[in-house]
Amino acid sequence: MITRMSSLFLRTLREDPADAEVPSHKLLVRAGYVRRVAPGGYSWLPLGMRVLRNIEAIVREEMDAMGAQEIQFPALLPREPYEATNRWTEYGPNLFRLKDRKGGDYLLGPTHEELFTLTVKGEYTSYKDYPVTLYQIQTKYRDEARPRAGILRGREFLMKDSYSFDLDDEGLEASYQAHRAAYIRIFDRLGLQYVVVKATSGAMGGSASEEFLAEAPTGEDTFVRSTGSDYAANVEAVVTPAPPAIPLAGLPEAQVHHTPDTPTIETLVDFLNAAGLGRTFTAADTLKNVLVKTRMPGATEWELLAIGLPGDREVDVKRLEAALSPAEFAMLEESDFARHPFLVKGYIGPKALLDNGVRYLVDPRVVEGTAWVTGADKVDHHVIDLVAGRDFTPDGTIEAAEVRAGDPAPDGSGILEAARGIEIGHIFQLGRKYADAFSLDALGKDGKPVRVTMGSYGIGVSRLVAVIAEQSHDERGIIWPRNVSPYDVHLAVAGKDETQKAAAEKLAAELSAAGLDVLFDDRAASPGVKFADAELIGVPTIVVVGRGLANGVIEVKDRRTGERQDVPVDEVVPTLLGLVRG
RNA sequence: CGGGCUGUGGCGCAGCUUGGUAGCGCAUUCGCUUUGGGAGCGAAGGGUCGCAGGUUCAAAUCCUGUCAGCCCGACCA
């Protein structure tokens, strides 16, 4: 197949679009792959379509290969199924809702759990029908509060979502693992650099969940990984390793000290170190007690919760949220302090909390035998050497403290380092939430109904176009991996010389006949323009018919390395076939 | 939702302080020259200056209102 640039619907831009920040956005617009039509809405131009279709094909191949079957739902959906799962309201403002002419409520699907569940329920009734996995590659809609970074985060995007239906937990686990393996094949074929991180199950109520994150400095998600193993996790999912307990025998007695004007950790540490106690304190020796209030879904009453963590660490709101889920939480207001006089702001200690029945959870580093400087529940007073397990016993531990680069890895393999990534896939053991909502049962061998258990698995297909560009570009343009490149070779004529043009025409025809997709720059532009466009567009192999032709050679250039080799005219086709077919 | 910024040919921008015929670069069209790294010269087409109201003899420019967009944060299967 030959596409002539003289007629290709393409206009490249010399300047970056004003609204673009990240490299993929700039380059995809400049090279003419996409154009913005609305915030978070992009049109795909011919070059972009080809890349998108290539990625889609790889996803489809691997999904089919693992035995998933493709179907497709409408993007425009009725309200009722989403009412049944409560998501019509629970999904919140991110759901695009609309009305038809009769006033009926509709939505644009953000994901399709409901429809898949109902569809399986409508067709299958026997245990013999299971397991089954269905998928679709569909446009999804989410009314993102702030779309950004071009097609990396739009309000309309192409997503592959699949759902597994199994009769028992073992089956679900197998379906989950099959997806995990398929995702690894897909992302490997796409040439991506990515990690699989443990994710929190969140509000969906499932058990196991992992995210596939493509590494990119412009990524929105922060994750950590170990320097000593392939351990990687979302910050929310990091489990703090607890140090060994210390024997209580021989530990110094707790002492209350007058510590005037020390409402903050910093002022307290400074005061103690100036007090001549014969040792040096750091913020990590203090136990900071943070008060929040929590409320279970559906409950009306807020409940107090105290969190004790080393004074050198802040509470990570996302980690706290994940730890408390599904309960919601809020910071205490002045009125809450007023209502509970035993809470002495700045000097809250474990004693008052426990004496007054406030649930008290501590950081896992607060193990038995550790001694702390903490509040004495009295203005301007702190207690030193308050020992966990001797002077106070918390109600449990909680993962609420921030995770920092340099912290020990949970698997003991090394220390953690922070990195950023873009979520490209998410696999999830949903369990029976949706099956319960729609009473999806299979009739078992014994004639009794068995509740089906589900998994849901997503890949951001259109996002992958941007992610690949994000990971594979240089200052001149995009560098596509062969598997997704819009064309196999980019053929340019460098001069206007008729023999060069004729040779290029002949070569284009031969390459096409050999089964390659050729982007043929037959324009009357100057060589500089053609080279610049070729590098911007990013086809991995660039072939130049130019001055070398007089010596019987044609230039073959590698887009990534910039290496060029002169190949005798009659060897060009086999050489390129070798390169492309690898 | 909070903070910051911006709306002027297809794209990127200047002009606004100090009101007076709307300008530059890229792109596009034509002619001549040029042809291995985004060419040169000459000519041309293309803009109700986001929208509404106001002030004024006169508004891209001043005033009021409004809408939209972008960036940071919050949010985010």
Residue A200 has pLDDT above 70, yes or no: no
Q: Which of A46-60, A309-323, A361-375, A393-407 has the highest mean pLDDT?
A: A46-60
pLDDT level of residue A49 (50, 70, 90 thresholds):
very high
Please report, rounded to whole angstroms, the spatial distance between the CA atom of protein residue A20 and the C1' atom of nucleotide B55: 39
Sequence spans of domains, chain A: 67-238+418-464, 255-397, 487-581
Cα A374 to chain centroid distance, Å, stands at 38
- Report the share of chain A in percent with pLDDT over 70: 98
Please report, rounded to whole angstroms, the spatial distance between the CA atom of protein residue A481 and the C1' atom of nucleotide B29: 38
Please report, rounded to whole angstroms, the spatial distance between the CA atom of protein residue A145 and the C1' atom of nucleotide B55: 39
Name the superfamily (CATH) of residues A67-238+418-464.
Bira Bifunctional Protein; Domain 2 (3.30.930.10)
Residues 386-445 of A with CB under 7 A from strand B: 423, 426, 428, 430
Q: Which residue is nearest to nucleotide B10 (CA to C1')?
A: A11
Task: Please report, to the nearest 10 degrees, the dihedral formed by the alpha carbons of residues A464, A466, A470, A475 taken in order.
Answer: 140
CATH topology of domain A255-397: YbaK protein (3.90.960)
Whole-number Å distance between alpha carbons of A213 and A463: 12
Is the C-beta atom of A144 closer than 7 angstroms to strand B? yes
| Bases along strand B below 7 A from a protein CB | 1, 11-13, 25-27, 34-39, 68-77
User: What is the structure's pLDDT at A353?
Assistant: 84
Give me the phi and psi of A339, to 5 degrees please.
-75, -25
Please report, rounded to whole angstroms, the spatial distance between the CA atom of protein residue A108 and the C1' atom of nucleotide B55: 48
Give nearest nucleotide to A220 (CA–C1').
B76
Give nearest nucleotide to A145 (CA–C1').
B75
Please report, rounded to whole angstroms, the spatial distance between the CA atom of protein residue A561 and the C1' atom of nucleotide B28: 35
CA-wise closest residue to A535 among A469, A471, A468, A478 = A478
Kindly state the average pLDDT of the residues A240-250.
Answer: 85
Whether the CB-CB separation of A57 and A39 falls below 8 Å is answered with no
Residue A235 has pLDDT above 90, yes or no: no
> Which helix (H) or strand (E) is A188 found in, with range?
helix A169-189
pLDDT level of residue A203 (50, 70, 90 thresholds):
very low
User: What is the structure's pLDDT at A207?
Assistant: 61
**How is residue A376 annotated by DSSP?**
E
pLDDT level of residue A338 (50, 70, 90 thresholds):
confident
Residues 25-44 of A with CB under 7 A from strand B: 30, 38-40
Is the C-beta atom of A476 closer than 7 angstroms to strand B? yes
User: What is the structure's pLDDT at A143?
Assistant: 85
Residues 79-108 of A with CB under 7 A from strand B: 94
Question: Any alpha helices (H) in A331-460, and if so which ranges?
Answer: 334-339, 350-355, 433-438
Please report, rounded to whole angstroms, the spatial distance between the CA atom of protein residue A117 and the C1' atom of nucleotide B1: 35
Kindly state the average pLDDT of the residues A204-216.
Answer: 75
Residue A425 makes CB contacts below 8 A (sequence gap 6+) with A183, A186, A187, A211, A212, A457, A458, A459, A460
pLDDT level of residue A229 (50, 70, 90 thresholds):
confident
pLDDT level of residue A5 (50, 70, 90 thresholds):
very high
State the CATH architecture for A487-581: 3-Layer(aba) Sandwich (3.40)
pLDDT level of residue A61 (50, 70, 90 thresholds):
very high
Please report, rounded to whole angstroms, the spatial distance between the CA atom of protein residue A21 and the C1' atom of nucleotide B12: 15
Residue A373 makes CB contacts below 8 A (sequence gap 6+) with A268, A272, A281, A285, A286, A287, A311, A382, A383, A384, A385, A386
Q: Between residues A1 and A227, which one has the greater pLDDT? A: A1
Is the C-beta atom of A498 closer than 7 angstroms to strand B? no
CA atoms within 13 A on the CB side of A463: 30
Whole-number Å distance between alpha carbons of A268 and A29: 54
Please report, rounded to whole angstroms, the spatial distance between the CA atom of protein residue A18 and the C1' atom of nucleotide B7: 12
Residue A21 has pLDDT above 90, yes or no: no
Q: Between residues A215 and A346, which one has the greater pLDDT? A: A215
Is the C-beta atom of A229 closer than 7 angstroms to strand B? no
